[in-house]
Amino acid sequence: MSGAVARIGIIGAGAWGTALACLARQAGVDVVLWAREPEVIDAINKQHENTLFLPGIALDRGILATGDLAEAAQADILLLVCPAQALRSVGQDMAAHVGPDTPVAICAKGLERGTHKLMTEVLAEVLPQAEPMVLSGPSFAADVARGLPTAVTLAARTHDRALAVAATLAGPTFRPYIGTDLIGAQIGGAVKNVLAIACGIVEGRKLGDSARASLMTRAFAELTRFGRSFGAHAKTLAGLSGLGDLILTCSSLQSRNMSLGYAIGEGRSVDEVLGERRSVSEGVYTAGVVVELAEQRGIDMPIARAVHGIVEGRLTVQQAIEDLFNRPLKAEFEPG
């Protein structure tokens, strides 16, 4: 990227994409927000509000919503905020309209089903001309859109590339910390979604604060083991995009994944809850990928495995709890 940023394209007009559009407008650049849903496009352009995904937040009139992917893709910076499982198809559709070396920040948190690939690996296949980045961290869309203080990680291949984009998005209440660990920034965001379902189950089942604190701690141990096996840096996993995002997602029912777990803990089925939602709970789709990769790599991830069994309908919540507590006793930390 060279020169001043004049236009940012945001691909995906869910709650997070809309919140990022608010941030981008604060930087004084043109913002084009791509949405699949005609009703979302109409509401943003005419009512200046995303009434479906982010109701109650007034949007700057300079945010243009469009259903034309080519129009949104022709930008100085692109933010990919579509669901993780849709990133490949969306990237393919926009490939012809993305210029060489365009910074493309992945804001989706997940691993691709079937291929087991990281989002940057998918991006390299469908948009090889792009400059890959990852924007991740503890950030609820409503908080960001309302201007509440938030800090995240922006990872790129070099600090200079990350800094150029971070400077555009940064504002009085939004602080991107830059880094170069693209793998770690992705692993934290993907795996915490699975583990947040478990924390939601604990809350919905009313198992107590002690159980939730214990689960969060052991969940972080699983996330760390998984990330290190991919070459993620320990400091990244213990930072905003790892531990920070895990804490947030496991502590509030604003989280789609925790609220899903809460409903499961109360006795509702996964299909019933998902059938009521327009937004995506990424942890449901990532759980199987995480468990399969963990098994291939010999990584012990009992909490993720329990979540996968529950969402697949192979385990009841009570069976999962019994399995976790009947595991052989062991040291809390591995030697070395």
Between 78 and 279, where is the model more confident?
78
Domain boundary among 180, 210, 232: 180
Asked if 59 contacts 49 with a C-beta cutoff of 8 angstroms, the reply is yes
Kindly report the CATH number assigned to the domain that includes residue 69: 3.40.50.720
Q: Residue 2 has what pLDDT? A: 54
Residues near 146 by Cβ (< 8 Å), separated by ≥ 6?
57
pLDDT in tens, 95-125: 999 999 999 999 999 999 999 999 999 999 9
pLDDT in tens, 21-36: 999 999 899 999 999 9
Residues with catalytic roles? 192
Q: How far is CA 266 from the centre of its chain?
A: 25
Number of domains in the chain: 2
Please indicate, yes or no, whether residues 130 and 216 belong to a single structural domain of this protein. no
Please indicate, yes or no, whether residues 118 and 219 belong to a single structural domain of this protein. no
Please indicate, yes or no, whether residues 59 and 152 belong to a single structural domain of this protein. yes
Kindly report the CATH number assigned to the domain that includes residue 198: 1.10.1040.10
Give backbone dihedrals phi and psi of 196, rounded to 5 degrees, phi first: -65, -30
Please indicate, yes or no, whether residues 155 and 225 belong to a single structural domain of this protein. no
Domain boundary among 180, 210, 236: 180
Asked if residue 336 is part of any domain, the answer here is no
Domain boundary among 155, 180, 205: 180
Please indicate, yes or no, whether residues 244 and 155 belong to a single structural domain of this protein. no
Q: Which domain holds residue 306?
A: 183-325
Q: How far is CA 145 from the centre of its chain?
A: 17
Task: Read off the DSSP letter of residue 250.
Answer: T
pLDDT in tens, 190-234: 999 999 999 999 999 999 999 999 999 999 999 999 999 999 999
Asked if residue 2 is part of any domain, the answer here is no
Residues near 163 by Cβ (< 8 Å), separated by ≥ 6?
178
Give backbone dihedrals phi and psi of 34, rounded to 5 degrees, phi first: -90, 135
Q: Which of 291, 283, 309 is nearest to 110 (CA)?
A: 283
Asked if 224 contacts 237 with a C-beta cutoff of 8 angstroms, the reply is yes
Asked if residue 332 is part of any domain, the answer here is no
* H-only helix segments in 230-301: 234-237, 245-249, 256-265, 270-275, 282-297
Asked if residue 302 is part of any domain, the answer here is yes
Please indicate, yes or no, whether residues 248 and 231 belong to a single structural domain of this protein. yes
* Averaged pLDDT score across all residues of the chain: 95
Asked if residue 334 is part of any domain, the answer here is no
Please indicate, yes or no, whether residues 21 and 155 belong to a single structural domain of this protein. yes
Q: Residue 329 has what pLDDT? A: 87
Inform me whether the pLDDT recorded for 20 exceeds 90.
Answer: yes
CA distance 34 to 64: 9
